[in-house]
């Protein structure tokens, strides 16, 4: 019986076939079990000899079964490894990699410029309160920016910031001059969306505070920024205007050559001015002066890279976004 069993065990090609063989010999109705049941009919001496022989047979069969199980397991592993084998001599398959959004690229470029000029990058909350967004920045109660047509208000009286200037107030309350900071961030205006306006957009503004900071320093900072962005010889222009949080205030522009059309023109970027004394009083500053200037990142990206509709920057259309991979 042993040779027959060993032959059947060796011939089993999988675990199911091997289990069938095990049941045939070691199961409740198997050959070995039947022989063990017949021991009762033998004399004591015969039972002792036959029992010892059957126990040795059982150990031999169990050892053979265990060895075959290990062999089958190893065969499964070898087959799996063979099926998953990789030919390292084949050329690799290049996977598609993502890229930074055009606005992110432009923002990073701007921050690199300001860092090179010694500015610290700071950020603040997008959900603000009336004091930081308006009152501390010298916005009078009747200012149109407080109207619900311009501002997204929450039910608890807070608002989505309408500009990044609240970060200036928060920074000045926690730091003492002199300092130079630049603030990038998302802002929100409750206005109609069209090709040049979005309810959500990005701004970047700079703030410099110290002793005897003048309008000439402001002009020099804007020129240095424009030169770093557009190259040496870049001309800048300031035109007087009104902003509640600066006095005097101005709009600044750069003379540039459009990279696609080659046309030279003044490009208005944003607003600037000397920080209003009321803003300094709101943060407890005395005996210092400072300037601030800021502009919209979307506008700079659109005119620089020929984006006609601001909504294209937010639609997520891969056909549009792929055109600006690694552009900035």
Q: What is the mean pLDDT of residues 156-183?
A: 96
pLDDT tops 80 at residue 187 = yes
Cα 245 from Cα 139, distance rounded (Å): 7
Q: What is the mean pLDDT of residues 73-95?
A: 81
From the number of C-beta atoms within 10 Å of its C-beta (0-12, 13-18, 19+), residue 169 rates as buried
CATH of domain 102-324: 3.30.930.10
Q: What is the mean pLDDT of residues 158-180?
A: 96
Cα 286 from Cα 319, distance rounded (Å): 53
pLDDT tops 60 at residue 183 = yes
Confidence (pLDDT) at 1:
65
Per-residue confidence band for 25, with pLDDT thresholds at 50, 70 and 90 = low
Cα 206 from Cα 5, distance rounded (Å): 88
Higher pLDDT, 174 or 94: 174
Nearest to 303 by CA among 272, 271, 270, 260: 260
Cα 308 from Cα 317, distance rounded (Å): 14
Per-residue confidence band for 204, with pLDDT thresholds at 50, 70 and 90 = very high
Confidence (pLDDT) at 240:
95
Among 46-60, 194-208, 253-267, name the most confident range.
Answer: 194-208
Confidence (pLDDT) at 241:
95
Cα 132 from Cα 138, distance rounded (Å): 10
Per-residue pLDDT tens over the stretch 108-134: 999 999 999 999 999 999 999 999 999
| Mean pLDDT over each residue of the chain, to the nearest integer | 86
Confidence (pLDDT) at 321:
81
Cα 313 from Cα 45, distance rounded (Å): 97
- Could you tell me where the DSSP H helices lie in 117-269? 130-133, 166-174, 215-230
Q: How many CB atoms lie within 10 A of CB 58?
A: 16
Per-residue confidence band for 36, with pLDDT thresholds at 50, 70 and 90 = low
Higher pLDDT, 32 or 64: 64
pLDDT tops 80 at residue 6 = no
Q: What is the mean pLDDT of residues 217-241?
A: 89
Cα 281 from Cα 285, distance rounded (Å): 6
């Amino acid at each position: 019986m042993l040779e027959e069993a060993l032959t059947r065990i060796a011939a089993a090609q999988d675990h199911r076939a091997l289990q069938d063989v095990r049941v045939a010999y070691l199961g409740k109705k198997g050959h070995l079990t039947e022989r063990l049941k017949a021991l009762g009919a033998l004399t004591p001496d015969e039972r002792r000899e036959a029992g010892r022989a059957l126990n040795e047979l059982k150990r031999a069969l169990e050892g053979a079964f265990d060895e075959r199980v290990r062999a089958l397991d190893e065969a499964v592993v070898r087959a799996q490894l063979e099926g998953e084998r990789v030919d390292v001599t084949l050329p690799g398959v290049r996977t598609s990699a993502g890229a930074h959004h055009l606005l992110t690229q432009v923002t990073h470029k701007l921050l690199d410029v300001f860092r090179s000029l010694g500015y610290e990058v700071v950020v603040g909350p997008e959900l603000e309160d009336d004091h930081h967004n308006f009152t501390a920045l010298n916005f009078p109660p009747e200012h149109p920016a407080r109207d619900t047509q311009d501002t997204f208000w929450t039910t608890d009286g807070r608002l989505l910031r309408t500009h990044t200037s609240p970060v200036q107030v928060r920074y000045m309350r926690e730091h003492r001059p002199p300092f130079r900071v630049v603030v990038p961030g998302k802002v929100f205006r409750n206005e109609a969306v069209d090709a040049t306006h979005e309810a959500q957009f990005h701004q970047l503004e700079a703030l410099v505070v110290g002793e005897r900071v003048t309008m000439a320093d402001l002009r020099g900072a804007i020129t240095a920024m424009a030169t770093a962005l557009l190259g040496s010889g870049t001309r800048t222009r300031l035109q007087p205007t009104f902003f509640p949080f600066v006095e005097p205030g101005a709009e600044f522009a750069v003379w540039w050559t459009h990279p696609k059309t080659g046309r030279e023109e003044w490009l208005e970027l944003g607003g600037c001015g000397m920080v209003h004394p009321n803003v300094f009083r709101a943060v407890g500053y005395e005996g210092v002066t400072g300037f601030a200037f800021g502009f919209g990142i979307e506008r700079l990206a659109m005119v620089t890279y020929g984006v006609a509709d601001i909504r294209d920057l937010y639609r997520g259309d891969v056909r549009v976004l792929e055109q600006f991979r690694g552009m900035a």
